[in-house]
Amino acid sequence: MKKVYGTASEALDGLLFDGMFIAAGGFGLCGIPELLIAAIRDAGTKDLTVASNNCGVDDFGLGVLLASRQIKKMLSSYVGENAEFMRQYLSGELELEFNPQGTLAERMRAGGCGIPGFYTKTGVGTVIAEGKEVKTFDGEDYILERGIVADLSIVKAWKADETGNLIFRKTARNFNPPAAMCGRTCVAEVEEIVPTGSLDPDAIHLPGVYVHRVVQGEHEKRIEQRTTRKKEAV
């Protein structure tokens, strides 16, 4: 199976449709699939439901799909860096389903493992639990959370081989592997593609069985928040 594509738009060819459900990797601005996001923007695919830890910032990451009004609903655990997200949500233009961060990651992982649901204590007794089934185990209440299965996963990795085995770097490993697992089709953008067999099997974070298409590209590595101090006088 040919998995390596020349551009992000080629890697998404035939996969996009209006109203689809996308799982996107990344943590803040770390490890976000920026090339694939830009290709989705350029394709004009609309009414998207997107599951991702956050929604980028106003002019980068998933924030560009908010600006173009292509996202209808977000499933997220943190949305604090995006003024346009706040504006659209408060005005009723954008639907939002809040998930505790670990719950969102586990929902993705569960969906990728064929697990339709699981019980967790996280959110018990809060608005997160509203409308969800509650069961008691060993005297403690747990709520049922459903596994996520997306139409498409878009993720960013450091290295891939030609069969789609992936290695992530540091914080980019938080959400990218579970996001990749839960898509019916997974497209990964990477910084480097190496020949099959050149990766140490013990170093592979996500096996290529989960990855259907790979594209290599140049990436802008932004810092989400930069805090500096004034230079002390000598």
CATH topology for 4-216? Glutaconate Coenzyme A-transferase (3.40.1080)
Whole-angstrom distance, CA of residue 60 vs CA of residue 65: 9
Asked if residues 61 and 68 have their Cβ atoms less than 8 Å apart, the reply is: no
Domain segments of the chain: what residues? 4-216
Dihedral over Cα of 65, 66, 70, 73: its sign: positive
pLDDT (tens digit per residue) in 173-194: 999 999 999 999 999 999 999 9
Q: How confident is the model at residue 234 (pLDDT cuts 50, 70, 90)?
A: low
DSSP lists the bridge partners of residue 166 as 160, 206
b/e code 88-119 from CB counts within 10 Å (16+ = b): bbeeeebeeeebbbebbbbbbbbbbeeeeebb
Q: Is the dihedral of CA 24, 25, 28, 29 positive or negative?
A: negative
| Percent of the chain at pLDDT exceeding 70 | 97
The pLDDT tens digits for 119-160 are: 999 999 999 999 999 999 999 999 999 999 999 999 999 999
Greatest CA separation found in the chain? 64
Instruction: Please write the tens of the pLDDT for every residue from 72-89.
Output: 999 999 887 788 989 999
| pTM for this predicted structure | 0.91
pLDDT in tens, 8-41: 999 999 999 999 999 999 988 889 999 999 999 9
Q: How far is CA 123 from CA 37, 63, 166, in A?
A: 31, 27, 33
